[in-house]
Amino acid sequence: MRPLLTLPLLPLLLSSIAVQAAPAEALKPMAFLAGHCWKGEFPGSKQTDEHCFQWAQDGHSLRDVHTVRTPGKPDYVGETIYYYDWSAKVVSYLYVENSGGYSRGTMKPATDGLEFPETNYIANGLTLPYRVKWTVSTDSYEAFSEMYVKDKWVTQFKMTLKKQ
């Protein structure tokens, strides 16, 4: 009978372990983003890209609402949740967007910013491999995105996003 009495306590014990382990520690390299919106223009166009970051789940995840605005067209909107994946021991993310596309990937801190290693964007049955690097400055970061097309990496865009 004793094991049955302790079974209801298991979720309480696990939740206290998770609180003490502080997964937010792994998200600290991203802390400069939280509580701010960051906006940039795509080179050679009037399209803007804005990312607004907020802590979620008491700092255990970071939410990024991403909006691309093009004059005369509907907004392209996506949302990313960054979190610490305990089993893989890495910061992971899930990105979903308003046209149904999505991706899952990881983030690694770099000496000059953040790296998002190769992963896949999936939409409408198509898969596009991509990778991204954010180089951080005082009140901005440069986003450099590449996609894998026809057996080689090509620049998708390079843009500076400034703190709003």
Tokens of 122: 């999936």
Q: 72: which residues sit within 8 A by CB, 6+ positions away?
A: none
Structure tokens at 77: 């909107």
48-56 vs 90-97, strand pairing mode: unpaired
What values do phi and psi take at 15, rounded to 5? -65, -35
Structural domain containing residue 30: 23-163
DSSP assignment of 74-132? PPEEEEEEEEEETTTTEEEEEEEETTS-EEEEEEEEETTEEEEEEEEEEETTEEEEEEE
Q: Which amino acid is at 17?
A: I
Identify whether 133 is part of a domain: yes
Q: Using DSSP, state whether 163 is helix, strand or coil.
A: strand
Residue 8 lies in a domain: no
Distances (CA, A) of 65 to 3, 82, 91, 125: 45, 11, 18, 24
pLDDT at 24: 74
pLDDT in tens, the chain (164 residues): 445 545 554 454 444 444 433 347 899 999 999 999 999 999 889 999 999 999 999 999 999 999 999 999 999 999 999 999 999 999 999 999 999 999 999 999 999 999 999 999 999 999 999 999 999 998 999 999 999 999 999 999 999 999 99
Tell whether 13 is covered by a domain: no
Predicted pLDDT at 83: 97
Say which CATH number the domain at 139 has.
Answer: 2.40.128.20
pLDDT at position 105 is: 98
In a domain, 35, yes or no: yes
What pLDDT score was predicted for residue 73? 96
Examine residue 18 and state whether it is found in any structural domain, yes or no: no
- The whole-number pLDDT of residue 125 equals 92
Q: Is residue 27 part of a domain?
A: yes
The predicted pLDDT at position 8 comes to 53
**Considering the entire predicted model, what is its pTM?**
0.84
- State the total domains in the chain: 1
Residue 7 lies in a domain: no
Look at residue 84 and tell me if it is in a domain: yes
Q: Beta 76-85 vs 90-97: how paired, if at all?
A: antiparallel
What letter does residue 59 receive in the DSSP assignment?
Answer: G
